[in-house]
């Protein structure tokens, strides 16, 4: 990451927890200009949560910057909970947060799983979505899940990371990697679910950047990060990410006229470039950018620069 391409660090001026029902409380915060154009940051994972660096994609003099942790993620409570945790509930939570903050409509900004949820939200609530900026495109199709979890997919590019990932499983379990991990991750015994969570989180962290980044891998092993990342990703994956029949490409007509920018790293291994290109072909009205020297992470220098540029361009929106 080149800090020069991002806005300076800022602190939130408002924050809290929103009770969304089902015993879930989601953490939210607002920074930037209290009278500014609202923008919602939608984090990845599922399960990753937000951090201070995510405020830095947005001009704080212009934008009212809203961050929130999805159900079971980050500071939201209860951590790692799968109860009533699905895409329709997350979309409803976003609407509850919008109403709580007295926001008529906002720009929606998300990457990786955050791109999935951003697109799903916009398709459900196009009149509340003024613009979209999506990065590291994940459409949650079966072939994308297979790519992520197979020796022929990510494992063909990162064979050592894949070997470490499946080493936790016995030979029988390896016949169904996702199902076996899901069983372990949902086991109530911490001695079973925590090693699985750390293995899953470490696997993803090993593959998200163009060049190796040991700091990201080390951070992924923290219990409070690993548990929601592993558990929620597996939960969403085994359920097809709770998307309607026809998926996100089937709903493009509902958002076709919303101003949008799509940013994707050419060498994104977690979410291959073909996925972003499929979205581009289905939605040619959206501005599309391949970043030729980047992988998956939002903080790859070229990707961060393109995201800031997109948000700077949208400063002209009313």
Residues annotated as catalytic are 112, 268, 296
Distance from C-alpha of 57 to C-alpha of 32, rounded to nearest angstrom: 11
Count CB neighbours of 13 within 10 A.
12
CA dist list (Å): 119 to 11, 131, 202:
28, 11, 27
CA dist list (Å): 246 to 47, 140, 152, 227:
24, 11, 26, 31
Residue among 38, 53, 46, 39 nearest 1 (CA): 53
Straight-line distance from the first to the last Cα atom of the chain, in angstroms, rounded to the nearest whole number: 31
Determine the 3-state secondary structure of 217 from DSSP.
helix
Count CB neighbours of 214 within 10 A.
9
Q: Which two tokens stand for residue 212?
A: 């190796």
Residue among 25, 92, 82 nearest 228 (CA): 82
What are the φ/ψ torsions at residue 278 (nearest 5 degrees)?
A: -60, -40
DSSP string over 92-129: HHHHHHHHHTT-S-EEEEEETHHHHHHHHHHHH-GGGE
77 membership: H or E segment, kind and range: none
Count CB neighbours of 107 within 10 A.
25
Determine the 3-state secondary structure of 135 from DSSP.
strand
């Amino acid at each position: 990451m080149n800090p020069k391409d991002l806005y300076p660090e800022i602190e939130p001026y408002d924050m809290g927890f929103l009770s969304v029902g089902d015993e879930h409380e989601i953490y939210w915060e607002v920074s930037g200009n209290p009278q500014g154009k609202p923008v919602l940051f939608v984090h990845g994972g599922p399960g990753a949560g937000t951090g201070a660096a995510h405020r830095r994609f947005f001009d704080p003099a212009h934008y009212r910057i809203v961050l929130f942790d999805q159900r079971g993620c980050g500071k939201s409570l209860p951590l790692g909970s799968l109860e009533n945790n699905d895409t329709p509930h997350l979309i409803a939570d976003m609407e509850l947060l919008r109403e709580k903050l007295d926001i008529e409509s906002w720009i929606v900004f998300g990457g990786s799983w955050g791109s999935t949820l951003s697109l799903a939200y916009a398709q459900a609530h196009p009149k509340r979505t003024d613009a979209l900026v999506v990065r590291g495109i994940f459409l949650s199709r079966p072939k994308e899940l297979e790519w992520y979890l197979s020796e022929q997919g990510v494992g063909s590019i990162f064979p050592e990371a894949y070997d470490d990932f499946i080493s936790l499983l016995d030979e029988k379990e390896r016949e169904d990697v996702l199902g076996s991990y899901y069983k372990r991750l949902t086991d109530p015994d911490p001695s079973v679910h925590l090693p699985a969570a750390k293995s899953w989180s470490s696997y993803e962290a090993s593959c998200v950047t163009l060049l190796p980044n040991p700091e990201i891998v080390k951070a992924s092993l923290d219990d409070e990060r690993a548990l929601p990342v592993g558990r929620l990703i597996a939960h969403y994956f085994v359920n097809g990410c709770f998307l309607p029949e026809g998926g996100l490409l089937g709903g493009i007509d509902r958002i076709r006229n919303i101003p949008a920018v799509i940013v994707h790293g050419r060498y994104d291994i977690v979410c291959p470039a073909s996925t972003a290109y499929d979205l581009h072909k289905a939605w040619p009205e959206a501005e599309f950018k391949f970043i030729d020297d980047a992988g998956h992470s939002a903080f790859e220098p070229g990707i961060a620069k393109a995201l800031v540029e997109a948000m700077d361009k949208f400063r002209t929106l009313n």
